[in-house]
Structure 1
């Protein structure tokens, strides 16, 4: 009995952080060293990538943990030695992790300068935020092709869209906060849109997947700033979804990966990142079902979020608090 109690105590540190995962799966032979990957990306997107990696490196297994972007940052900071690789769509939080010394420097990896930070953080996708519409619920109303179009549509038909529009809860979602701050920097239209959404009781979400689920179910008519890659994947099984990239500019993020400075499997972490970046260049949808980085990510007409120190501006606590207050005044405190 005493032995069991001691064993339980020994397992507590990892057990504490292993609770409440959105998903957790193991790939490969369980008798091989486990590479632990902490990610905000749905397993369905990464399973082909992981399986291809294990084919190339069969002496590793992979334990893949999925959670939200803000929760990912908290869990990794609390226990950086429990994970070998960290993957997130929240570029600002990832850049701060690297800047704070949590990422190993992999100086022998060659990657475009615009898609990496100090050889420690590497971008491997280019993904726009989209307006996603349930065509059946929109009916014969005009399709909004820009943020201004969306504002005018919601103002013209407030009763029809009351409680039927969704967006991120930026207080809870790291990616949602990133998209919101970048939208606000680029155009004042963002705040007008948030005020209109607040007046029609917009529904707030942690993540793109839940918004898309509710769009498919008919609980939402429109969702704003949904990850285009997630929505595109769902169009294969749903004819109701229509994806709109705002015509004035789509805000485009790059999904990033880092190796933990405290990794228990540092060799495996580097091998996995190398393999991931190589798959991205090949862009075979069978093995890499995410939008790869392309030359168009830096073209005019797109607000591509850059990997540079300015990205961390809104992570300053005073600036974050001020932004959240303004957002709440627009979206939440609308009565």
Structure 2
């Protein structure tokens, strides 16, 4: 494989920095492919490299952005990317529902499980639980919180000791964080109590799981709440001071959604790449070389959705790929939820 070129570029007009990787083709007149994704390069690299090995005549460029900048950039320039990948499921669904997705008409698309696609335009190709990560110090001193109920009790019982040592998403700045907030508010009647407890310990609010993991690894935080399990697993496996907790009362599961842009500048290459993502070959790479969780029905064992289900059963609560996702983006409902979130986060716990 030719040398991989990596660089950072400033993306106008959104004033955000994206990591860009480029796989040059091995021919003088290559086909082109541009993929924009909210998926860290370290996690998608095995897929990019395998695809490029299979299709060396395609000049492949991948740009990694956060979820909301990705969405806004696409709306500003819907003809600049062939494939869009994001874990912010409501935003991906809205784009497809608004006519920005091109149908994929291949045998793989026809056979893809109905629960993991919308029409033949939007495809879920990963299975990623949302987890907690805790440091050894917390477990040794206060025990391991194995559920949301136990986390709430830990935060309330050790408020002073944990002040400044907890981190989670900012739902106002992060599309993923907002998605988790609205889903949890539907799932648990104690969710708002938990938000208040997070505020009471001066929880740090950040935009990405990567920021949470960095702070946890450095020891600045002892509890990380609502991290992408796919990202957390790799870091936790390499750090004996960290533990990943899959809550046993309920665990949200998100899925990366991918679609071909209706105005894709290179539609033939887009078809090849999207079909690869949902192929047994592409899903095999996900299962064997990443922690993203393969969903192909022919695959089971480590690294697959089946393995997660076998270990955690009914605690897993996947977000449903349905029109219900659009309700989460209603402007009035969004503002109402964020207003309440800020209010509860800033409220002192009256039980103390």
What TM-score, normalized to structure 2? 0.86
Q: Could you tell me which residue of structure 2 aligns to residue 86 of structure 1?
A: 84
Q: Could you tell me which residue of structure 1 aligns to residue 75 of structure 2?
A: 77
**Is the CA contact 1:146–1:246 (under 8 Å) kept in the aligned structure 2?**
yes
CA-to-aligned-CA distance 1:128-147 (integer Å, 9 cap, x gap): 10011011354331100100
Q: Could you tell me which residue of structure 1 aligns to residue 341 of structure 2?
A: 327
Q: Could you tell me which residue of structure 1 aligns to residue 324 of structure 2?
A: 310
Distance 1:78 1:69 in 2: 15
CA-to-aligned-CA distance 1:18-61 (integer Å, 9 cap, x gap): 85324111123385333111111000011110111011111112
**Is the CA contact 1:199–1:334 (under 8 Å) kept in the aligned structure 2?**
yes
Q: Which has the higher mean CA deviation after the structures are superposed, 15-24 or 115-124?
A: 15-24
Q: Could you tell me which residue of structure 2 aligns to residue 206 of structure 1?
A: 207
Shift of 1:200: 1.2
- Structure 2 vs 1, CA of residues 148 and 43 (structure 1 numbering), >3 Å: closer, same or farther? same
Equivalent of 1:98, from 79, 96, 99? 96
**RMSD across aligned positions (CA):** 2.0
Matched, 1:16 2:43: no
- Structure 2 vs 1, CA of residues 214 and 22 (structure 1 numbering), >3 Å: closer, same or farther? farther
**Is the CA contact 2:231–2:291 (under 8 Å) kept in the aligned structure 1?**
no
CA-to-aligned-CA distance 1:194-237 (integer Å, 9 cap, x gap): 00011111100101111011000111110111001101011232
Shift of 1:286: 4.8
DSSP-derived class of the 2:17 partner: coil
Shift of 1:322: 0.2
**Is the CA contact 2:36–2:83 (under 8 Å) kept in the aligned structure 1?**
yes
**Is the CA contact 2:47–2:282 (under 8 Å) kept in the aligned structure 1?**
no
DSSP-derived class of the 1:140 partner: helix
Shift of 1:172: 0.6
Give the number of aligned pairs: 322
DSSP-derived class of the 2:85 partner: strand
Q: Could you tell me which residue of structure 2 aligns to residue 9 of structure 1?
A: none
Equivalent residues in 2 for 1:271-282, closer than 5 Å: 271-278=272-279, 279-282=281-284
What TM-score, normalized to structure 1? 0.91
Unaligned runs of 5+ in 2: 1-9, 296-304
**Is the CA contact 2:132–2:223 (under 8 Å) kept in the aligned structure 1?**
yes
**Is the CA contact 2:167–2:224 (under 8 Å) kept in the aligned structure 1?**
yes
Equivalent residues in 2 for 1:115-264, closer than 5 Å: 115-264=116-265
Distance 2:123 2:254 in 1: 13
After TM superposition, the runs of 4+ consecutive aligned structure 1 residues lying more than 6 A away are: none
Unaligned runs of 5+ in 1: 1-13
- Structure 2 vs 1, CA of residues 297 and 176 (structure 1 numbering), >3 Å: closer, same or farther? farther
